[in-house]
Structure 1
Amino acid sequence: MRSMDFRPQTGCLPFKDPMLSPVTARVVTSFSCACILVRPVVRTSSAAREPHNEPAPSTSTVADVDKEVVAEKTRDGMHRFAASTRKVGATRLVVDSLKRVSLTFLGDDHTLNYAVAKVVGSRLGWFAVDVPKVICGMRKAVSLDQLTQEERAIAEVEVLRGLRNQFRIIATPLPGGAITHEAVWADLWGSVIVWIDEEDKQRPKGRTPERSLYEDRAEVVVRTKVQKGFAVKGGNSLENRAKAVAELLLPRLSDYLAEFPELADRKRQYVELGCRGDWPHLQSPSCSSVVQGLAADRKPLVGFESSGNAVADGNAMELASEGTPAICV
């Protein structure tokens, strides 16, 4: 059997299979040219006659002064955001402004306060303290119902006192508990006090001593309205209520810290000095409230009352003339 060699003719492409007929080279075209289809754009006469849409004149009734104020606030906000160490979002701005200072959430509903604390804590990186759980662990009780009101208040005072030196936590004191005692506020002033007030039109809240206390001591107030009906997205569950409060709380907290930029540093200084109860007028580190109390209770000797007052007045005038700050004793 003889082998046969198939040689293509001149001007044809070679093929190994002898069953295929040779293809003329001039029939083969480039792939890029064969696959591109150019479709001409047809413009109708109506489209050609259509005029360009010009922006309509503004019909806003807002004064130019208000617009300038809004623009200035926007620039300030962007400047504060640009000064953030890590530009992750608005939450990072709050974290940088707090400088590890803790938060305290007050309100009539402790369950809602703790739910908001968990939501805010997850966003800021703060730890939400479950005060009832800690109290039950200290007293070895299953629930707070096993403790009397006095035992509950004493345990809560111990918990809040132990938390005053801790940073990046969110405490939620019990309504009507230890916060009604004035001595406890010496431990709470080391954190930013936030009042969460949920309003219900069907059940209006009267003015109670506790609400008066919240109004006087709170530094940031967040008021929300209870939404009811089938139109509420996701239902009126505790989780949705807590998320709604958190959405209002974080921007308001950011604005408050921007208005008082030195607040976080003063809070940290108050904690480092030992939470002596001298907020907001911090005294020098050499001052001692115990020594001041003893000096106030000290009585002069009989027959030297006037001389003691005269010596004290003379020392005060001498210090004032020299420009030397008075030192607490």
Structure 2
Amino acid sequence: MASSSSSVGLSFLTRNTIKVPLSIPKSFSPFPKLTFPTISCFYSATPRLDYNSFKKINPIHYCSNLPTASTNNTHYEFSDGSSEVELRLELGQGEITPKDIHVDANESSLAVRIQQSGIVRALMDTSTLYEKIKPAETIWYIDEDQLVISLKKQNSELKWPDIVESWESLSAGITQLLRGTSIYLVGESTEINQRIARELAVGLGYTPLSTEELLEAYAKQSMESWVNEEGSDAVAEAENAILESLSSYARAVIATLGGEKGAAGRANQWRHLFAGFTVWLSLSEATDEETAKEEAKRNMQDSGQGYSNAEVVVKLGGWDPNYSKAVAQAVLSALKRLILADKDLPGKKSLYIRLGCRGDWPEIKPPGWDPSTSPDTSSMSS
């Protein structure tokens, strides 16, 4: 008794480069007291989900603002079984028969409406279920004053924290997928990276770290004065050493330096960034979804730009302090889809770290492999 429609699935792409960092004294501690400025804004997000070979270019998934889940009845019960999830919605007052109920299930969305006396009432209308279902196998029935909907999961191994994809469900559910892997935020703005790192860390229960804060604590001077005295190249090299120190850390969200002074903006300084999942927070002038998609595609194909190595791209159309959590939510949504497309990714990241972050991501070489003996040494530096 369910209607269904089809939707387009997701697929992805990646790139890889190498950089050998300089050394920081062993006495250096990466945990000074951190502070984060209040910034951010979110109008739209375009995650780029990539892995395997950069020769394989696949569709870009686009998120517009926050996923919506509207209902006139805020009372519902949700339970997750091994292969399906069950949703119970309160029907409300009045006699309601099956012919009054309309359930429209899609792979990623669910609309439930009741039509009585020519008036249509929405019980639930969400454009973003927590994960994909098999719409043709949706079953529903009336149980006294409740509508019971059974949705068959496409991925029976994934635990659903809730029926909809939201900040709360993502931050609660994605830890089972990350398996302790750290997250690195890169992009043109240090300030944006720091703000979103803090939001993500609070939601995930991870440690927030900022390479700017760590570098300033180590050098005992401001970033501005350091750049003025020694230049952006020296700062980028120092940040690369910080990234080497942090590459073995688990359960951290690391905000990197933005702009020319940052190591992440340089294509040859990504060796240790590959130890975690990398997210490019990219400022955009796009005013609509299609323009943002095309811009993201162009960015991805620019191999000379370090940020193009990122596994996820989130396009930001502006900033407002009230919407930083929405950007963080888009990041988690994109990371969830990335990992679900290749569930072995966290394990590969762990192996990459154990072998010494040698720069062979994503094609991890056997133990003993030396990047200096590789035929492709053009992207390496010591």
CA distance in 1, matches of 2:103, 2:374: 66
Which residue matches 1:164?
A: 247
CA deviation profile, 1:164-223 (whole Å, cap 9, x unmatched): 121112222223321244442111111111122243458x99878997636631212223
- TM-score, normalising length from structure 1? 0.58
Change (3 A) 1:198 1:76: farther
Listed as ranges, the gaps of 5+ residues in structure 1 are: 1-49, 227-235, 297-329
Query: What residue is the counterpart of 2:118 in the other structure?
Result: none
Map of 1:23-62 to 2, 5 A cutoff?
A: 55-56=99-100, 58=102
1:133-282 paired onto structure 2 within 5 Å: 133-147=213-227, 148-174=231-257, 175-176=259-260, 177-201=262-286, 213=305, 216-226=308-318, 237-238=320-321, 240-282=322-364
Aligned residue for 1:196, secondary structure, equals strand
Q: Distance in 2 between matches of 1:210 and 1:134?
A: 32
- Change over 3 Å in CA distance of 1:288–1:222 after alignment to 2: same
Cα distance per residue 1:48-94 (max 9 Å; x no partner): xx99766347597989x9833999996135640169xxxx9542321
- Deviation at 1:293? 5.4
Q: Distance in 1 between matches of 2:263 and 2:138?
A: 42
- Report the number of matched residues: 230
Structure 1 residue identity aligned to 2:159: F
Identify which of structures 1 and 2 has the higher relative contact order when contacts are C-alpha pairs closer than 8 Å and 6+ apart: 2
Who is 1:300 aligned against? none
Q: CA deviation at 1:281?
A: 1.1
Match of 2:159 among 81, 84, 94: 81
**Which residue in 1 is equivalent to 2:136?**
68
Deviates more, 1:104-113 or 1:115-124: 104-113
Structure 2 spans left out of the alignment, 5+ residues: 1-93, 108-132, 140-149, 162-167, 378-382
> Deviations 1:221-241 (Å, cap 9, x if unpaired)?
223433xxxxxxxxx633x23
Inter-partner Cα distance in structure 1 for 2:98 and 2:136: 25
For 2:173, give the aligned amino acid.
L
Q: One-letter code of the match for 1:124? A: L
Distance 1:265 1:69, change over 3 A: farther
Distance in 1 of aligned mates of 2:95 and 2:371: 80
* Percent identity of equivalent pairs: 21
Q: Retained in 1: the 8 A contact 2:134–2:154?
A: no
CA shift in 2, pair 1:161/1:144, >3 Å: farther
Q: 1:51–1:266: structure 2 CA closer, same or farther, 3 Å change rule? A: closer
Give yes or no for contact 1:180–1:210 (8 Å, CA) kept in 2. Answer: no
Deviation at 1:249, TM superposition (A): 1.7
> What residue is the counterpart of 1:98 in the other structure?
178
Relative to structure 1, the CA distance from residue 73 to residue 172 in structure 2 (aligned partners, 3 Å threshold; closer, same or farther) is farther
Please report the RMSD computed on the Cα atoms of aligned residues, expressed in angstroms.
Answer: 3.9
Cα shift readout 1:273-308 (whole Å, capped 9, x = no counterpart):
001111111111133334x359x9xxxxxxxxxxxx
Answer with 1 or 2: which has the greater Rg: 1
Q: Which amino acid aligns with 1:122?
A: V
Does the aligned pair in 2 maintain the 1:107–1:214 contact within 8 Å?
no
Q: 1:225–1:266: structure 2 CA closer, same or farther, 3 Å change rule?
A: same
**Superposed displacement of residue 265, structure 1:** 0.2
Mapped to 2, the partners of 1:52 and 1:289 lie a distance apart of 69
